[in-house]
Structure 1
Amino acid sequence: MPYRRLPNTDQARLRALKAALEKGRQNYPYDLAYSQQLYLDIQGVLPQFEQIVSQYNFSKERQAKYGKLLADQFKEARIYVSHFIQVLNFCIIRKELKPEVRKMFGLDVDDKSVPDLSTEQLLLHWGKKVVEGEERRMMTGGTRIYNPSIALVKVKFEKFVEYFNNHKNLLQTTQKMHEKVVDMRDRIDHLIVKIWNGVEECYKDLPGDQRRSKCAHYGVVYMFRKDEKSTSL
């Protein structure tokens, strides 16, 4: 025996409400399989829910696209910060700079390795130290480091920071929109249950297949169990 399955996605919820609304538009109130009050409830809540879901999906898609751009900026900035530290170490190896200069960058005097830059947070930390450290070093009269220059490193790093902050704001916006959608789901689900209950009550005296067919026109979804036909009404 097929069983009724309530919507479990926002798009399915919207389809259910739109199907019921369309039947309300097509029929006179006395021919409608659910109450006129529920029809008015659908008219009131559907546009609001549809707008919120649309805004959430748009925000989520924008966040995902911006996330890819952020990943590109992260990779590029990491290369420049890493290369600058490597060149700094080469200058020390060639005795063009003293090992003590590493302190200006927050590095251990005897540490000849490049710090871990594998995450955005680590790159934010070390990128800032590299830019500020080199600016302090230059203020003391130090010779410039090239390939890459700190000016170019700073441009790449600041662009990464800009994308990071923008993406962070998008994450927060998406989370807020998601919370709005979640807040409405219980109300929407409750309304759909009342509509479907009313429709099934209206057609309860019809034979099974005919009853389910009538209800399906109002958006009611029926599913067959695994040991039954693999189709749905």
Structure 2
Amino acid sequence: MPFRRLPDSVATSRAALETARQKYLATAAPQRLLTEAQFADHLDPATPAAGAPGSTLYRLIKEAGEATAALAAQTPVTRETEQARASLGLHISHFIQNLNNAILRGDLPSETRTLFQLPLEDERVPLLVTDADLLLWSDHIAAGENARALAGGEPLTWPSAARIAQLRDQLSQLIDTQSTAKDLTDAEQTDVQLLMPAVTAAIKDLWDTIEFNLRHEPDAPSLRRRAREWGVHYATRPGEAPDPDGPQEPDGPQEPAVS
């Protein structure tokens, strides 16, 4: 037996409300299955007067739009931060490899490694996985080159410590920017999730009213056919015969079926 399936996402919830709104507006007043109060409370997309909360549909559009905009603003910052991480990690790795090569050639003593907090006889590049790793080794390189300069040493190049310091500052700034953007996205998405119980309750109220006003239909399939025009969604369980006049989806949040 087909059962009502409530929307399970922001997109399907908005679609259910939009379908009910469109059907309400396209139906002559005497034949409408929803009241004017229900339209005002749940389906009116207009911006409310100052201080008024607005309809369920308006609030959903507003909150979802703000969450989408926040995520859109965060995405390029996240991409730029990832690129900055990769670039800094590559430069640090190349600097340490060049240092090891200079020691191997005999241009520098192995003790030089200790100026950079590297093990005396270990040629391995340290792990550069986290932001903390990248910032730490950038600082070690800056301190090591400063110590070498004070002792009269020539700066290492390709890459230079100055270039690594520049990339370090860039990454540090991007990490702060990304964190702020992510916090805003999280806050906006939280607002959407906090609204969803009220959205689901509104849809259930509308669907209950629609089915109640169609209770005199000659049979359940006829009721479901007309209810679908108002956005009510029905699904069938695996193995059940679907209604011939509507798309079906198995599973999902179940409510008592119309029998």
Helix, strand or coil at the partner of 1:17: helix
Equivalence for 2:90: 79
Name the aligned partner's letter for residue 211 of structure 1. L
The range that moved more, 159-168 or 109-118, is: 159-168
Helix, strand or coil at the partner of 1:112: coil
Q: Give the ranges of 4+ consecutive aligned residues of structure 1 lying more than 6 Å apart after TM superposition.
A: none
- Measure how far apart 1:31 and its partner are: 3.3
Name the aligned partner's letter for residue 40 of structure 1. A
The range that moved more, 51-60 or 8-17, is: 51-60
- Measure how far apart 1:197 and its partner are: 0.6
Residues 17, 192 of structure 1: 8 Å contact kept? yes
The range that moved more, 58-67 or 45-54, is: 58-67
Structure 1 pair 25–132 and aligned structure 2 pair: CA distance change class (3 A): farther
Equivalence for 1:13: 13
Q: Are 1:39 and 2:39 counterparts?
A: yes
- Measure how far apart 1:115 and its partner are: 0.5
Residues 19, 219 of structure 1: 8 Å contact kept? yes
Structure 1 pair 200–85 and aligned structure 2 pair: CA distance change class (3 A): same
Among candidates 214, 219, 232, match of residue 203 of structure 1: 214
Equivalence for 2:122: 111
Q: Are 1:175 and 2:190 counterparts?
A: no
Residues 21, 39 of structure 1: 8 Å contact kept? yes
Unaligned runs of 5+ in 1: none
Q: Are 1:218 and 2:250 counterparts?
A: no
Residues 17, 203 of structure 2: 8 Å contact kept? yes
How many angstroms apart in 1 are the aligned matches of 2:235 and 2:78? 38
Among candidates 52, 60, 72, match of residue 49 of structure 1: 60
How many angstroms apart in 1 are the aligned matches of 2:109 and 2:128? 24
- Measure how far apart 1:222 and its partner are: 1.0
How many angstroms apart in 2 are the aligned matches of 1:160 and 1:95? 34
Aligned residues: 233
Name the aligned partner's letter for residue 159 of structure 1. Q
Name the aligned partner's letter for residue 154 of structure 1. A
Structure 1 pair 30–84 and aligned structure 2 pair: CA distance change class (3 A): same
Structure 1 pair 50–99 and aligned structure 2 pair: CA distance change class (3 A): same
How many angstroms apart in 1 are the aligned matches of 2:30 and 2:101? 87
Residues 224, 232 of structure 1: 8 Å contact kept? no
Residues 5, 233 of structure 2: 8 Å contact kept? yes
Residues 56, 202 of structure 2: 8 Å contact kept? no
Percent of matched pairs sharing the same residue: 23
Name the aligned partner's letter for residue 11 of structure 1. A
CA RMSD of aligned residues (A): 2.4
Q: Deviations over 1:77-103 (max 9, x none)?
A: 211111111222233344444444434
Residues 52, 180 of structure 1: 8 Å contact kept? yes
How many angstroms apart in 2 are the aligned matches of 1:139 and 1:35? 83
Structure 1 pair 107–8 and aligned structure 2 pair: CA distance change class (3 A): same
How many angstroms apart in 2 are the aligned matches of 1:218 and 1:91? 76
How many angstroms apart in 1 are the aligned matches of 2:19 and 2:93? 58
Equivalence for 1:151: 162
Q: TM-score, normalised by structure 2?
A: 0.79
How many angstroms apart in 2 are the aligned matches of 1:127 and 1:51? 44
Residues 221, 232 of structure 1: 8 Å contact kept? no
Equivalence for 1:67: 78
**1:130-149 paired onto structure 2 within 5 Å:** 130-149=141-160
Equivalence for 1:184: 195
Q: Deviations over 1:177-220 (max 9, x none)?
A: 11111110011111111111111111022122221122112111
Equivalence for 2:256: none
**1:23-34 paired onto structure 2 within 5 Å:** 23-27=23-27, 30-34=30-34
Name the aligned partner's letter for residue 16 of structure 2. A
Helix, strand or coil at the partner of 2:216: coil
How many angstroms apart in 1 are the aligned matches of 2:206 and 2:62? 21
- Measure how far apart 1:18 and its partner are: 1.2
